[in-house]
Structure 1
Amino acid sequence: MDFYFYLVFTLSYLILLIVGFVKRREKNIMSLTFFLYLVIVGLIVDNAIIAFGKFIGTDSLLENLHLFRYWTHAVITPTLILFCLGVLQKSGKKYFSTARAIWITFTCTCVLILIEIITVVAVIELKPVLEYGILHYVPVKKTAGSILMIIIVSLILLVTGFLVYIFTSWKWMLVGAIIMGIGSALPIKVESTAFTNALELVLMISLVATDITFSNKE
């Protein structure tokens, strides 16, 4: 059953990517909000690898594909912080466009990427696991680095969503961040590996909606 979930996620992200590019009027690829679409590309690859793992089988190819997943996660996910700064810039508050704000944000992003690489992917060992019809490779040991990165990025998304709501009354980024946070924190028993991925999709939909709305206001 999970195969169909991950297939739907992959197609949904592909549609979301296309909709984002088509609907937003701003085409400047130098805009910080464009990092959101880099993350979505990573999620397309991520969910496709998980979905089709059982067709590849337990071998070095699938293991290397999953290793690639962890590398892309480490390098791309922290760039959501840059997206957050881009959204705050579009909210009309001049402070977020200052060199200091940009420098701090880029520094935080780079630090999180380095932490994730050094503490997770550089030392990761993977093992094959078959769950709910999905064959994928997971870390032999959980590390604190990845959890730290996710917590920090999630908090920044939540705070940004709150500030955007205060500044502009746009609530959907905040709603998406809250759903993601509560869903990840609560010990919900689900007979599937796809629950967190479903929450990620809800979050990404809220972020794309936010980007389209603010890009078209300019």
Structure 2
Amino acid sequence: MPASILFAVLAAGQLALVCWCVLRYRRTGDRMLIVPAVVCAALVYDNAILAAGRWIGAGDALETLSVFRFVAHLVLTPLLMPWARAAAGLAGVTWVRRALVRAVVYAATLGVILLGVFGELAGLALRPAEWAGTVRYTTEHASPAGVLSPVVTVVVVLVAAAAVWRVRGYRLWTVTTVTMTVVSAAMPPMLLTNCAELVFAWGVVATAVWLSGAGRISAPAAMSES
């Protein structure tokens, strides 16, 4: 099966997660579903462009369409850090509600976004590349800014997920985050990395849905447990 078809399947999987968030939001009005929906929508676009590249072909059109792939990864993905802190707080992890923790997470989020914008996007240079029948645009040179953003984001999310597991016994978020971390660290082909991203996104969305149901603990109740 051509890799482009598999990327299309991954795009469909991410789109299903977006729909899950939208349907749940319409039922509950829970704003904690917004960030997961936005991140999953960006991943829909990412995989869709990878799937369509072989038909679009190398050229100005595909290069222009590919720019947003990098913008989304460097600007939207870090939003999972303050989301993860808020999610852990709603799940009953009281220490993440401290002003210092909140300030550190917001500073880290702003820091990696600015680093991505000025260290990667400002001088973004793309080149065409082919793999397993797919055509895509990738960066000319790897930069620390492009690597630091996902690393810092995953570390913050993993800490929050592990804290929720410890306090509430809810392990899905941790397991899916660890899965993506291990796969990404192994530096496999992009297709496997994007499969791991789908697993990670599923864990994030499932956690948001859990929080909108029985997972959320009110602030007074959480304080009384500490």
Q: Which residue of 2 aligns with 1:133?
A: 133
Q: Supply the distance in 2 between the matched residues of 1:185 and 1:99 (Cα, whole angstroms).
A: 32
| Unmatched 5+ stretches in structure 2 | 217-226
Q: Which residue of 2 aligns with 1:26?
A: 28
Residue type matched to 1:135 in 2?
A: V
Runs of 4+ in 1 over 6 A off after TM superposition: none
Alignment-derived partner of residue 59 in structure 1: 59
- Give the SS at the match of 1:135: strand
Alpha carbons of 1:61 and 1:203: their partners in 2 closer, same or farther (altered >3 Å)? same
For 2:206, the aligned partner's letter is A
1:3 equivalent to 2:4? Answer yes
Q: Is the 8 A contact 1:63 1:126 kept in 2?
A: yes
Q: How much has 1:193 moved relative to structure 2? A: 3.3
1:183 aligns with 2:180: no
Q: State the 1:95 CA deviation.
A: 4.5
Query: Which blocks of at least 5 consecutive residues in structure 1 are unaligned?
Result: none
1:199 aligns with 2:201: no
- Alignment map for 1:1-218 (pairs within 5 Å): 1-23=2-24, 25-29=27-31, 31=32, 33-97=33-97, 99-186=99-186, 188=188, 192-217=189-214, 218=216
CA distance in structure 1 between the aligned counterparts of 2:197 and 2:72, rounded to whole angstroms = 16
Contact 1:90 1:215 in 2 (8 A): no
Cα separation, 2, equivalents of 1:134 and 1:71: 21
Q: Contact 2:176–2:199 (CA<8 Å) still a contact in 1?
A: yes
Is the 2:21–2:36 contact (alpha carbons within 8 Å) kept by the matching residues of 1? no
Residue 42 of structure 1, CA deviation: 0.6
- Which structure's residues are more often helix, by fraction? 2
**Matched position secondary structure for 1:124:** coil
Q: Distance in 2 between matches of 1:186 and 1:57?
A: 29
Instruction: Report the residue type matching 1:178 in the other structure.
Output: V
Aligned residues: 213
Separation in structure 2 between the aligned mates of residue 98 and residue 131 of structure 1, nearest angstrom: 47
Give the Å deviation of 1:34.
Answer: 2.3
- The alignment yields a C-alpha RMSD, in angstroms, of 1.8
Residue range with higher mean Cα deviation, 194-203 or 47-56: 47-56
Query: How far apart, CA to CA, are the structure 2 residues paired with 1:4 and 1:160?
Result: 34
Question: Quick one: distance in 2 between partners of 1:75 and 1:137?
Answer: 18
Q: Secondary structure at the match of 2:129?
A: strand
* CA drift at 1:101: 4.0
| CA distance in structure 2 between the aligned counterparts of 1:99 and 1:27, rounded to whole angstroms | 26
Q: Is the 8 A contact 1:132 1:193 kept in 2?
A: no
The range that moved more, 17-26 or 158-167, is 17-26
Measure the CA separation in 2 of the matches of 1:54 and 1:114: 32
| Contact kept in structure 2, 1:128 and 1:138, CA below 8 Å | yes
Does the 8 Å CA contact 2:154/2:177 hold for their aligned counterparts? yes
